[in-house]
């Protein structure tokens, strides 16, 4: 796999908004990610990204949602890349572990399905539910 052309690392949320599930994300190509041990990850965290969206003048959907909720209320997760195994690691709230939602995330991050390991993470626990 050519790391320059396939997949992105980043953070995401799935939010029920105006009758639909919306994927909000912040990401970058692997080559622009930050090394973290054997992993390459997106450098900015959920809290900081959410607060930036609250003030955004160019992301009205994100701004509206970020101002209506706290960052930890909706299911969220992170996509990282392992340099040793050459696989993506998708860590997320257990509420996201549905094929329709995982497919949405894989598509947005341009992740080859056969190169992704999905796992839950107790750090990502939300109070809101998705339809």
pTM of the predicted model as reported, rounded to 2 decimal places = 0.93
Distance CA(129)–CA(78), nearest Å, equals 18
Q: Is residue 15 part of a domain?
A: yes
pLDDT in tens, 38-93: 999 999 999 999 999 999 998 999 999 999 999 999 999 999 999 999 999 999 99
Domain that includes residue 32, residue range: 8-120
Residue at 129 is within a domain? no
Phi, psi dihedral angles at 88 (to 5 degrees): -90, 145
Total domains present in the chain: 1
In a domain, 37, yes or no: yes
């Amino acid at each position: 796999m050519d790391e320059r052309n396939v997949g992105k690392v980043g953070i995401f949320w799935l939010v029920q908004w105006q009758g639909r599930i919306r994927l909000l994300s912040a990401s970058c190509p692997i080559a622009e990610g930050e090394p973290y041990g054997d992993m390459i990850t997106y450098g900015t965290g959920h809290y900081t990204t959410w607060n930036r969206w609250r003030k955004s003048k160019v992301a009205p959907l994100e701004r509206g949602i970020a101002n209506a909720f706290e960052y930890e209320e909706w299911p969220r997760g992170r996509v990282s890349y392992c340099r040793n195994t050459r696989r993506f690691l998708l860590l997320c709230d257990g509420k996201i572990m549905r094929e329709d939602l995982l497919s949405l995330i894989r598509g947005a991050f341009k992740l080859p399905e056969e190169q992704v390991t999905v796992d839950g993470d107790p750090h990502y626990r939300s109070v809101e539910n998705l339809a």
